[in-house]
Every structure is written in structure tokens, then in C-alpha cells.
Structure 1
Amino acid sequence: MNSCILMAEVIQDPQLRFTPDNQTPIAEMWVQFAGLREDEPPAKLKVVGWGNLAQEIQERYHVGDRVIIEGRLHMNTVERQEGFKEKRAELTAQKVYLLGADASVSMIASTPAVPAASSATKPAVASEAPASKPPSNKPPAASKPPAAKVPAYSAPPAADPVDYDEIPF
């Protein structure tokens, strides 16, 4: 399975182009991330997004943005002007998360996300709160107590203990 998760900084604004049939958008951007050692320069990598993700990448990401990218890593062979071939790594993005200044994360995915139980909860309206009581920042208490911790595996109880002291020889 080829899966890669990378935290990096955008160093070139995404460029949007289309496939030859003008149907599928493709966004390309360059990112950099720190080397393994302090004395190594940052590594640079081309990130490619397809379809709706490509359009969102082009609209939302700019130079200097810190991102987390999930995708597939592969190698491309490029013909250089000097006459030799060079292999370059490329990351095909499936999801992109923007890291905010406060280290919060927002997500852009190539498939639409379905919010869990969004229709079952009613949003709070400011006029419903009593005027004498300030709004609370605490999350609502859970309706069920936390489940007791159960070990994932427990060995079956041993049968009658065997007495190994009586050795016949």
C-alpha cells in the first residue's frame, strides 16, 4: 500500500491546468519540509491534485501556508536539457489540511465528507438562552457514563494445575 502523510510549507502558488480534453482540472504546487538532520537543507516536493481537489488547492493555498498532505508518493523520470534523465518524487494528494496560526487544522478532501449526526442536533440559538445567565464554554455533559475498560484479550483460566515435582527418574 502506498500512503504518505507529509507536513510541509507551500513555496510556490498552486498552478491550475486541465487535461488535454479540457475536462479534468489538475493543480500543481511545490512544498518544502525540513531535512532529517539540522545541517541538511529543506527538501522540495511537487504536489499534484486532481478534480475538485485541484480547484480547491488552487483557490485556498498560497506561498507560506503550512499544510498536511495525505496522498500517494511516486517517482517520475524527467528528461533534462543537459541530455540525461532524472528521477523526481511527486506526491498525488488525496486530502489536504491547512494548519492555522494557532495550529488548528482544516481539511480539504477529494471526496465529500459526511458530517456525523448533523441532522439530529439542533444548533443553539442565542435568543433561547436566559438573559441572566452568561453562555457557558463547557461542552455538554455526555448522556451515558463512560464504558468500563475491558482488556482486548484475556487468557482463559488455567485448568487443574499440573504437579511437575514427581519426576519418575
Structure 2
Amino acid sequence: MNSCIFMAEIVQDPQLRYTSDTQTAVTEFLVQIDPIRDGDAPETLKVVTWRKLAEAVPENFHRGDRVVIEGRLGMILFDRPEGFREKRAEVTAQRVHLISHGSGGSAAMTPPPAASMPSPAPVTPMNPEVAGPSGDEPLSDDIPF
């Protein structure tokens, strides 16, 4: 099973777009993960969300916010303009939990309607600060792991 959970800071505001063929919502953003060892550089990962979660993320999360992301890790292979192929890690998120707002986010947040935050399984956060904007449930996608 491919599953990961990690804490990170959003370093690029989420960008919402729609696929040209099916008009499916897709949001992409960059997060930075703190290094494990002192002196190491932080890691940057691209995070992708789909459907209802993709529509809710840009409204509720902004650059500077600390989040916990649950999802699947994948490797993307693409051609570079320099003429070689590069592999890059990418996370497809199923849930995004807010830990704290950064200075780039808005002070007052309006949570999306409950219908836009389906959860594949009931979630009871151990810490209320880790829950989604409504405080009772994390934002999640309806894609099973």
C-alpha cells in the first residue's frame, strides 16, 4: 500500500485549474518539509489534489500555512529543456489538515460547505488544531487509498 503522512509548510499558494477534457478540478501547490538533521536543506514537494478537495484547498489554505498532508507518493518523469529526463517526487493528497495559519494567509477563514469535504472514513483528530478549517473534520478527497 502506498500511503504517506507528513507535516509541511505551504511555500506556494495553491493554483486551481480544470482538466480540458472532463473539467475535473485539480489544484497544485508546493510545500517545504523541515530537514531531519541540522545543517540539511529543507525538502520541497509538489502536492496535487483532485475534485472537491481541489476546489476547497485554494479557498482555505495559503502560503505560510503549516499543514499535515495524507496521500500517495509518486515519482513523475519529465523531459527537461536541457535535453535530459528528470524524476521528481509528487504527492497526491487525499486529506489536508491545518495546523496553523502563516503570515501569508487570511486571518478570518470561511470554511467550505460540509458537502465539499467528504471523508473516506470517520476521522477524530487527536489534537483539534490538526483538524480542517471547520475544526471538526479535515479537508479530504473522496479517492480511496
- Same fold at TM > 0.5: yes
Distance 1:103 1:44, change over 3 A: farther
What CA deviation, in whole Å up to 9, does each residue of 1:31-67 have, x standing for no partner? 0011221111100000000000001111111000000
Give the counterpart letter for 1:13 in structure 2. Answer: D
Give the Cα separation in 2 of the matches to 1:16 and 1:86. 25
- Count of matched residue positions in the alignment of Structure 1 and Structure 2: 111
Q: Secondary structure at the match of 1:54?
A: helix
Provide the residue aligned with 1:29 in structure 2: 29
Q: Which amino acid aligns with 1:110?
A: D
Q: What's the Cα RMSD here?
A: 1.6
Larger radius of gyration: 1
Q: Matches of residues 83-94 of structure 1 in structure 2 within 5 Å?
A: 83-94=83-94
The TM-score with structure 1 as length reference comes to 0.63
Matched, 1:61 2:61: yes
Task: Say whether residues 1:105 and 2:136 are aligned partners.
Answer: no
For 1:104, the aligned partner's letter is E
Structure 1 counterpart of 2:106: none
Q: CA deviation at 1:82?
A: 0.6
What stretches of structure 1 of length at least 5 have no aligned partner? 112-169
Give 1:9 deviation, angstroms: 0.2
CA distance in 2, matches of 1:103, 1:85: 43
Give structure 2 stretches of 5+ with no counterpart. 102-126, 132-137
Aligned-residue identity in percent:
51
SS of the counterpart of 1:53? helix
TM-score (norm 2): 0.73
**CA deviation profile, 1:79-125 (whole Å, cap 9, x unmatched):** 111110110000000000000369812210113xxxxxxxxxxxxxx
State whether structure 2 residue 46 is matched by structure 1 residue 46.
Answer: yes
Instruction: Determine the C-alpha separation between the residues in 2 that align with 1:76 and 1:88.
Output: 5
